[in-house]
Amino acid sequence: MAVTVVIADDQTMVRQSFRAVLDAQPDIVVTGEASTGAEAVTVCRELRPDLVLMDIRMPELDGLAATRRILAETPGDRPRVLVLTTFDADEYVYGALGAGASGFLLKDSPLDDLVVAVRMVAAGNALFAPAVTRRVIEGFAGRRPHTQNPARLRELTARETDVLRLIACGLSNADIADRLVIAEQTAKTHVSRVLGKLGLRDRAQAVVLAYEAKLVVPGA
């Protein structure tokens, strides 16, 4: 089944460019567009896409506020949000993570990266621009109150705790499998169990929780 996408950006040429690239993919279909944050909320409410490409700066309602509303108004199968920004690390990026976005991509990234990003985020993987991944997560986690030993972490087995640490380090299922010397399918199962036990929606939330709980130490 194809991944359905809504593109929210106030620049017509950007939307058309992204749409042309994504619609050319056999497994991705752009079902709607929005030129303002408010319009993005309305379009997502009507179309229920799998994923939203959300620009940060838009009129009427900025991308962060629109992301919060979209995720709040669709409690069931909520779309994943991939934030597009021209900033490599600032309050907008921290805000995107806080709003519940599953990742962000710099708008000047190659269009091929956009296709990969859509597939990754739609599949439930967190995605951050490679140049800023670690410092963005560390900076974001450092700005929030730390929960030294959240009760829900106690539900994880020792192996699952190790998996959470590796997720926080940005490792893929294949990388986790190599590090722990297990089958990739087993790694995938562990990741699913970690997310399920912690009540997390995707890897982005898992990464932030791991830093907040100090399972991973910023700068280490």
* CATH code of 77's domain: 3.40.50.2300
Mean pLDDT, rounded, for 140-169: 76
Does 89 lie in the same domain as 187?
A: no
112 vs 16, which has greater pLDDT? 16
Does 160 lie in the same domain as 120?
A: no
Give the CATH number, domain containing residue 208.
1.10.10.10
Q: Is the residue at 12 inside a domain?
A: yes
Using the predicted structure, report yes or no on whether residue 90 has a pLDDT greater than 70.
Answer: no
Q: Is the residue at 140 inside a domain?
A: no
For 53, the domain range is 3-131
Length of the chain (residues): 220
Residues 129 and 71: their CA atoms lie apart, in Å, by 22
Does 91 lie in the same domain as 17?
A: yes
Does 62 lie in the same domain as 11?
A: yes
Q: Is the residue at 218 inside a domain?
A: no
Mean pLDDT, rounded, for 15-20: 95
Does 175 lie in the same domain as 117?
A: no
Residues 23-65 have pLDDT tens digits of: 999 999 999 999 999 999 999 999 999 999 999 888 888 888 9
Does 167 lie in the same domain as 101?
A: no
How many structural domains compose the chain? 2
Does 177 lie in the same domain as 96?
A: no
Task: Look at residue 148 in the predicted model and tell me its pLDDT.
Answer: 47
Spell out a b/e string for 181-207, using b for 16 or more CB atoms within 10 Å of the CB, else e: eeeeeebeebbebbbebbebebbbbbb
In the block, residue with structure tokens 């567009």: 33
Does 154 lie in the same domain as 120?
A: no
Does 22 lie in the same domain as 114?
A: yes
Q: Is the residue at 139 inside a domain?
A: no
Q: Is the residue at 136 inside a domain?
A: no
pLDDT band at 142 (very low <50, low <70, confident <90, very high): low
Q: Is the residue at 137 inside a domain?
A: no
Does 198 lie in the same domain as 122?
A: no
Q: Is the residue at 16 inside a domain?
A: yes
Q: Answer yes or no: are the C-beta atoms of 28 and 115 closer than 8 Å.
A: yes
Does 195 lie in the same domain as 87?
A: no
Query: Among positive and negative, which fits the CA dihedral 219, 165, 72, 123?
Result: positive
Domain final residue, candidates 73, 97, 131:
131
Using the predicted structure, report yes or no on whether residue 91 has a pLDDT greater than 70.
Answer: no
In the block, residue with structure tokens 């990741």: 191
Using the predicted structure, report yes or no on whether residue 158 has a pLDDT greater than 80.
Answer: yes
Does 166 lie in the same domain as 89?
A: no
pLDDT band at 129 (very low <50, low <70, confident <90, very high): low
Mean pLDDT, rounded, for 77-106: 75
Using the predicted structure, report yes or no on whether residue 107 has a pLDDT greater than 50.
Answer: yes
Q: Is the residue at 219 inside a domain?
A: no
Residues 159-213 have pLDDT tens digits of: 999 999 988 877 888 889 999 999 999 999 999 999 889 888 777 778 778 877 8
What does the block give as tokens for 116? 């990969």
